[in-house]
Each structure stands twice: as C-alpha cells, then as structure tokens.
Amino acid sequence: MPLFGSKKDKEEKKEDKKKEDDKKSATLKRDKSKGSEPAPAPEASTMRKTSESMPDQQRLDALFKQVLVSQSFRSVNRLTRRETEVPADMQAPMLHWDNKRKWDMIKKYKSGLGKSGSEGGGTQKKIQNTPQFFVEALKLSPNVKVLNNIRNAMKGQPAAWLKEFIELRGLEYLVALMHDLEVQQEKSVQDQEMIAASLRCLGFIMTSETGLHAVIRSQLLPTVALNIDTQSKNIRLRVLEIMSMVCSSSEAGHNQVLTSFSHVQKVKREEARFQTLVAPLKGEEVEMAILMDTMVLINTMINTTKELEDRIALRGEFQALGLEEVFKRLDNIDKASNLETQVQIFLEENESDQSEVKDAYANMDIDIDDPVKIVKGLQRMLKGAPEMQNMLAIMRNLLRLSMKRDTDSALALKSFIIMEKFTRGVCLQKENIGFDADTKITLNALLNAQEGSAKMVELNKQVEELKKYKDQNQLLVKELNELKLKGRGGGGSGTGGGAYVGGTGNGEGEGVDGDGTGTGTGTGGDGAGRGDGHSSHHDPIDGESLSMENYSSSLYEDGMAPPPAPPMPPPPPGMQKMSSRSLTGAKPTRKMRMINWTKIPSSKLEGTIWEELESKNDEEIEKNIDFDEMESLFSTEQPQEEEKKVSENAVVTVVDSKKAQNVGIVLSRLHLTKEQVREAILRVDGDVLDGNTASQLANYAPTSEDFDNIAAFENRYAEASGPRPKLSSVDQMFETIRDIPRVKERLRCMNIRETLAVKILEMKHQIQLLCDAGDELRNSPLSSGIIQLILRMGNFVNSGTFRGAASGFKIDILGELWDMRSAKNPQLNFMIYLWDLVDQKFSHLQRFAEEIPSVYSAARLSFPTLMSDVKNVQSNLDLIQSEIKAIQNAPPMEGDLFLDSFENFYEVARQDADDALQRFEKGKENFQKILRAFGEDSTMLPEDFFGIWVKFLNNFERAGKEVRKKRAAEENKRKREERRRQREEANRIEDEEVDESAGEIMEQLREGGVRVVRKRIEGPKEETTQKESVQETPSSSSEDKMEEKVEEKKSEDTQELRKTDE
C-alpha cells in the first residue's frame, strides 16, 4: 500500500539534510575559533526514545547520570573558580529523586539537545529557567552569573515559579551562600560582588507578597543584617533597603528587624544594639545615599511601633548613640530633599510623642520635667500601697549614689546608667524593645527571682488581714464572756466551797476549792451541786480559764461568804499619791543597769491593777529573791583599782561630746592654735574666720555650763598629786576664749557682716523684678490686645449663659484654655485655635510675649520668702546694734577691734536695708495696683499671679509649635502627593496587579511615607491572599501552554535523530 505524501516526505528529507550540513559547518567554525571541544553530551541514540513512555529503572538511572555530567550541570569551584564536573557526593541527593522528577529532567534536557553557542537560547534556555535548575545551581555551583540569571528569570514569571523556588529551599541556599561569604574575615572583590548579587536577588524576591512573607517566616534576616558592617557602599545600601522593606511590611517583620540588630550586637560584641547602624554616620565624610537610607530605616523602625512607650524607648537608643549630633552637622541639606524630610520626621515625631507623654501625665497633674512634682505624684499614687516602701528604698539608694559623686563620680555615673537601663527594661518588658543584650539576661533572672518574694509579700498581706480578723474575733469573744458573767445572777447552794460558773436551776456546779456548802453564782435561780472538782453542768468560756483567787480569798474557812467590807478611810492629806513601794524593800549598794520602763505616775493608779498590787504585802516575794545575786549580775562594771590610775598622757573632754566633735572638725580645718583663734575673734578678722566658719563656731559656742565644767576640772586637779589628765583641744580653746564677753554674739555678728551685703543686694534684685513684671504687664498694648481678643471670643462662646456679656474675667482661666477642646476634633483646643487665629488675622499680636519678659523671672519668686528675708535683715541689724551698745558699756579689752569694725559697717548696712525696705513696700504697693487693674483679689500672691501668665505663655508657644507642625505635615503631604502624581503619570503601568517594586517602596519611604506606614503593620488582608490564589490558576495554565509549545517545537537535532532512526 503506497504511503500518502511520499513525495512530500522526500522534499522534507532534502530540506532537513541541508539544514544539518549548515549546522555542522557552523559548529566546526565556532569550535575552531574557540580552540576548545564542546562538552560531551548524551548520545542521540541513547536519548532518541525519550519521547516515548518512561523506560525501566536501570535505563532511567543511566540516562539521568548522563544528564548530570552534561555541560548544563557542570559545577564552579568556589575557591578556584574553575569549571569541573559535579562531584559524586553532590550528585547523590539528585540520584535519590523520584522517577517522575528524573524523567521530567531528561525530557527537558532532550528537548534542547544539539543546541549550543548562540543557538542554545531556545529549548536549552527553557531548561535553565526552571526553579529546579537554579536551586541545584545555587546548591552546587553558585556564582555571580547564576545569581543574576535567577533575578532575570523571575521577571515575568508567574507566582507559581517563585513558590516552587522557595519550596525547593532556594531561599535557604541563597542566604547560606551569604553567610559563608560573610564569615570570611578577608573578602575579595569577587566575594563582595557575590554578596551584592545575592542581596539584589533577595530584594527582587521580596517584591512579591509571597517572597516577602517567605523571608519573614524563614528567620533569615539576622544573616542579612550581618552584612551591614561593610565598607562597600553597594552592599550597605542593599541591606538597608531590605531591612526597611521588611520592617514596613508587618508587625512580624518589624520584630524580625529588631531581633536581627540584637543578633548583630551579640556577634560583633558591641556595647549598643544599633551601633553598627549609626557609627558610619559620624564619620567626617558620609555618603548622602547611605545617610538617606539609614534615616529611612531608623524612622521606619520607630514609627511602625504601635505603643508610645516603645517608640520613645527605641528613639532613646538612637539618641544615646548621638544621632541628633549628626543632624547638627548637616547644615547644607536641601530643604526640599528627602533627607531633610527624614530628619524632620525624626524630630517632629519625637516632639509629638513627648507632648503626648506630657499630656498623659498632665491629666494626673504631674510635670515629667519637674523632679519634685514626679516625687509628689508617686507619693500620692502609692500612698498606703505596699509598693510605697520599695519606692522609698529606691529613692534612698539614689540618694546614696548621689553622695558618691564627690568621691567617685565615674562610679556614680555608671551606676545611674545601669539603674536607668534596668528600670527601662522593667517598665517595658518587651522582647525587642527596652532591653540591652548585656542587661536582658540579668534582668530576666532578677524578675524570675522576685516572683517568690512578690508572692510572699502578698501572702504576708493576707496573713495580716487574717490576724486583724482574729483579733476582732477575740475581742468579740471577750465581750461576750463578760456579758455572760454579768448576766448570771441568783444564789445557789452546793458542796465544794467554790464559786460556780454556770449552773441553771437546781443543777450541779463546778467546785473550785475544797468541799463544803457555799453560795455560788448561777444563771436563772438557785443551784445546788456537788463540788468534786468536775462539773456535771457548766458553761466553758472558749477555753479561757478564769482565776478564782479574788473570789476564794474573800471566803471564810467554812465556805460562807462574808458580808461586803466597808470602804477604806481616805489617806491623810499629802499622802494620797505616795507609793508605799518607795518606802520599803531592799535597795542595791551599787549602781545598777536600769530597766527602761515607763513609770506610771501615782496620780493615775486609781482603778488599775497596780493599785490592787500596792495594797498587797511583798514580804513573801522578797524572801524568795536573792538580791545580792541580782546586784552582782546586773550592776554596772566597777573600774579596777589599776584603771583608776590616770596616765600622764590621758586626754579628757568635759564639754558635750557632740559639741566637742563639731568644733574639733572646724578647728582641724583652720589649722590654727587656740591663741590664734582668740586673736581672730577679738580682732574680728574675716580673713581668718569667714562667714561660714563664724556661723559654725557660733552654733557650738561655749555656754556658762561649759565654762563651769572646765573650772570644776581645774579645781579638782589643782592640789592633786600624781599625773594629771589633759583637756582636749576644744576644751583648751574654750578655756582660752573664756575671758571674751558675749563670744557667741560676736561670732554671729561676724557671720552677718559676711553675708548681709549679698542678701540685701539679692532682695533689691527680686523686688526690682517684681516691679518690672508688673509695669510690663500694665503697659503692654499687645498683652492687652490678646486679653481683649480672648474676652470677645469667650463672650461668643458663653453667649446666652450667665457667663456671657462679660466685661472682664479672672486671669486664672488663662492657664486652663488648653483644656477646652473641640467636640468635633478632640485634637484641637482653644489655645491652638487662638494661635492660628492670631497668626492669620492678628499677626501683630504674635510678639506680645516679647513685651513682658520679666514675667518668667517674677513667677519663680516666693513672696513669703522675700518678706521673711526683709525681716531677717532687720533683726540681724538689731543684733549688731545691741552688741555695739553692750561692748560700749563694758570695760575695754586689749586688742578688741569689734567697735572699730562694726560701727561704720552698721551705719552703711542700715541705710541699705532701709532702702531695700522702702523698695519692698513700693513693690507691694505696685503689685496691689496690678491686681486692682486686672480685678483680682488683693490677697493673691505674686508667684500665683505671674505663674498663671507664664503657663499661658508656655501654652501659647506650645500651640504655635502644634500649628506649625500640622502645617508642615500638610505641606509635606501635598508635596508627596504631587511627586507621586507626577511619577505615576510618567511611569503609568498598564497591569495594575503587578506588585510594587523595591525601588517604589523605598521611594515612598524616603518621601516620608513612614508616617502612614503603621497602617501596613496590620498584616496582609484576605483580599490579597485571594487575589494571589486567583492569579496562580492562569499562571499555571500559561506555564502548561508553554510546555505544550516546547513539545510541539522540537529541536531540529531531535527531528533529525528520529528520521535517521526510522
């Protein structure tokens, strides 16, 4: 049967033969020009049946081994960079693939068989563009070309390609390559090119959501972050871009970045976490591109943090490294540049966070910049709480550290830094924020160790509460028992001669003493019972035993109770309050060690147990006490006879020990003899005894009692034979100046002379500030204009109320305008609105603060303190005047220059003090005029009045900062929108589903997009996941179509082999 189309087949054979001849000729020419033979490939006869069904296992393995040793799978040695065949140990994992995977590779290789050189870009290129090929290449023969080819191969590929690449551990091999290169201490140029190519490849992978999430999940960023410590500008920029993209992607990415820098700190053994990031910025020459992207990363790390305290802590780490000092050196920044935008973001967000903190504490009436108010706030919040004791202990420790600054300032500084680190870590207690690597482990150990202590404190607190309840119960039981005893009445006859506790009707009671018939106390009537020591019917009172001595001692021997005794006659006059114990009893012969009890006065003994004990006889007790033994045991030690002998060099002090100690310290600092001290006091020598020394000596000046003690000592040893002890240097000095009359007053006058002039000058300055502040406010037209504007605005707001139509208002409202917020916009308050209005419509009023500069200083004055100083000056001058008169009336002393020194001084000082007093009275009068001018109460203090103005001025300035900040943000936003619009118009992308590239993401961050990047930390939305899953289906189908086209378009060599075989 003839074959159809035989003529056509012959023509095709001729055409195929011609193509084969042309191909062989071209191959020979190429090989000749290269001077090398082509790499061996599997024989055509071996591969000719690959289009058929899968061969048996043995044949399949043979074909796969031939593919492995082919030109397409040669390896490049990392050290020699020479091309070699894949070693057997590296081929082993591939040989364990499943048969289908091997067969797929054989078919793909077969489809490109025969292609080489420039012609190998057809089906052979298809093999080399598969994820499987590149993963094996990364694993066995990574080089710059492979890395660049991976990046190029991913362009235009569907999401399934990247997913397969990640599933085959391609991302891990990529980062493993970077790790192997990074650990090398000395890196060649080729190594740095490999690192840069790896980072470019990784950055391109992260441009898709799939790649970005894979990078975050794989925990690979610490290895990437290690490459930031490099001299290569290109590598550093790539690392900064990758870290910024990951940080801005999600909260998990943000945590990964912080963890990575902690890893860098640990590996590089640095003191601070971000030292490697900030250190290059402090150099003399800094690349603007590096500075730009570093600031982008810093702002991204800070502003993608949700919590306010976390942002402040992170920003504090960079401030501690001197980042703001870097800003001060950037004088030549283009104001419209992205770098200026990043610097402004850092500073403005810092100011915003600090303002937010201040606002939060302002609601608690705490100024976080005022240590006194902070301590008061702590005291108010912790009052009555168990933490109060811990807070006091912390404050004491801080006080001790402050005292060490004089002896070891370096140690004190280090201690304060350590305490700041620990307290910051305790407050935040976050994994990646607030901790330093060197304190994290220690702090965790301390916190764990304190868990038991905290539980113990809580348990002790519960125990104390239970004790209170127990004490209350015992009191209630005691009261109940007393009520029971009072309620039991009636007489009862019984045998036992004791008092009955309980017993109802004719029941039996409990006999306490002996046998016999007696009258007992019963409840509800008469009771008869047998007293045999046990009760057949009784009321136990909660285990409490009642003493019956008072009852039984009042009974007769026959068991009958006597009638009540008549009251004792009153004691004779004068003897009513005297204790009998003071007249009787043994007394010691030596001085005894005392029992430090508090003696109850005799006037308060009436009705107490002590009064009953007074009436009892102590003879029986004294018989059984060995008082001699007590005297020998509890007497004070008696000095031995040998100790009574006084040494010739013994030194004694007869004045008060504390006074002697303090005066001794002063004398040791002066290095003067007692005669020199006496002469300095007489001559009123201020060069020898300055004001401070004179004040200390005046505080511990000798009294008449001290002089008497010294005289008694002298008289005691005046006629005594043998060695005589010496008085101490202080006693001797006191003895030397004993003849100077009124020595204490002299010393006080010397102190006044040294300090009075300075005090009067300071008083005059404060009074002048008070007057100037009042005059400035009264005569400032701009301040009046601001008040008038507020009055008009307030009348509009208060219109229709009893506060409306006001002609004036109390100025205390000026300090509260900040708290009046808009109902529509809580971020807007009256002060911000006022500043904005003044800036736009009343700009001439903006400078009103410049007309009242003295208000700030006047607000810091304390008027009561100023009044006290005025009175003290007058009293000091009165003291000098009285001392002058006393010395004038006393006999003159040789060398006494007091009058010569103080008469002229007093006249001059009195004039200055009178002048200060006049100014003070004038200042008071002037301030009263100011109060009347503003309609304020005359009792208002200057510090309160001017303090309100200072608060208003500060709030006005703060409002200005808020408005300017808002305007700058709006302007930056407008500029960003304009640049974005221009960029979108210039680079409009037809396919809207294409992911943002790394360059676009970084460009947005550089332009200040980090301000709104917090919205992205919520994580990928569900629509994104669904969108990606929808995209995978057509992508997969398109890949299948590509495979079909490859199968349809076999290579010419394969067709020729098939024809030859036929």
- Whole-angstrom Cα distance, residue 383 to residue 197? 63
Tell me 530's DSSP state.
E
Residue of 230 and 92 predicted with greater confidence: 230
The pLDDT, as a whole number, for residue 553 is 38
Element (H, E) at 984: helix 942-986
Helix axis angle, 131-140 to 159-167, nearest 10°: 40
Residue of 122 and 150 predicted with greater confidence: 150
pLDDT, average across residues 180-188: 79
The pLDDT, as a whole number, for residue 498 is 38
- Whole-angstrom Cα distance, residue 154 to residue 42? 29
Query: Of 233-247, 630-644, 670-684, 763-777, which range is least confident?
Result: 630-644
- State pLDDT tens for residues 114-142: 343 334 444 445 556 778 888 888 777 78
- Whole-angstrom Cα distance, residue 666 to residue 673? 12
Do the strands 726-727 and 651-652 form a parallel or antiparallel pair, or are they unpaired? Answer: parallel
Q: Residue 454: which pLDDT band, with cuts at 50, 70 and 90?
A: low
Going by C-beta distance under 8 Å and a sequence separation of 6 or more, which residues neighbour residue 807?
A: none
CB 158 within 8 A of CB 1038: yes
Most confident of 29-38, 534-543, 725-734: 725-734
Most confident of 314-328, 439-453, 563-577, 851-865: 851-865
Q: How many angstroms separate the most distant Cα atoms in the chain?
A: 167
Q: 861 pLDDT exceeds 80?
A: yes
Query: Of 79-88, 350-359, 384-393, 621-630, which range is least confident?
Result: 79-88
- Rounded to the nearest integer, the mean pLDDT of the chain is 72
Query: Of 248-262, 418-432, 792-806, which range is least confident?
Result: 418-432
CB 220 within 8 A of CB 176: no
- Whole-angstrom Cα distance, residue 656 to residue 658? 6
Percentage of the chain modeled with pLDDT above 70: 66
Can you read off the two tokens belonging to residue 920? 């003070």
Report pTM. Answer: 0.40
Element (H, E) at 517: strand 517-521
Cα dihedral: 758, 759, 760, 761 (round 10): 50
Residue of 517 and 466 predicted with greater confidence: 466
The pLDDT, as a whole number, for residue 535 is 38
Q: 560 pLDDT exceeds 70?
A: no
- Whole-angstrom Cα distance, residue 68 to residue 105? 10
Residue of 739 and 638 predicted with greater confidence: 739
The pLDDT, as a whole number, for residue 489 is 46
The pLDDT, as a whole number, for residue 481 is 76
- State pLDDT tens for residues 642-679: 444 555 567 788 888 888 888 888 888 888 888 888 88
Can you read off the two tokens belonging to residue 919? 């100014």
CB 846 within 8 A of CB 956: no
Query: Of 18-22, 210-214, 265-269, 328-332, which range is least confident?
Result: 18-22
Q: Residue 953: which pLDDT band, with cuts at 50, 70 and 90?
A: very high
CB 474 within 8 A of CB 461: no
Beta bridge pairs of residue 521: 491
- State pLDDT tens for residues 467-498: 777 777 877 887 777 776 765 544 443 433 33
Phi, psi of 75 (to 5 degrees): -105, 150
Q: 703 pLDDT exceeds 60?
A: yes
The pLDDT, as a whole number, for residue 949 is 92
- State pLDDT tens for residues 276-289: 888 888 877 778 88
- State pLDDT tens for residues 69-113: 654 444 444 433 344 445 555 566 677 777 887 787 777 666 544
User: Exposed, middle or buried, 694 (CB in 10 Å: 0-12/13-18/19+)?
Assistant: buried
Residue of 982 and 583 predicted with greater confidence: 982
Which domains does the chain show, CATH number per domain? 346-458 (no CATH), 469-537 (no CATH), 651-740 (1.20.58.630), 770-957 (1.20.58.2220)
Residue whose C-alpha is closest to residue 693's, from 733, 665, 653: 665
Can you read off the two tokens belonging to residue 616? 């009892």
Query: Of 310-314, 576-580, 893-897, which range is least confident?
Result: 576-580
Helix axis angle, 209-217 to 1022-1048, nearest 10°: 110
- State pLDDT tens for residues 704-742: 888 888 888 888 777 666 677 888 888 888 888 888 888
Q: 220 pLDDT exceeds 50?
A: yes
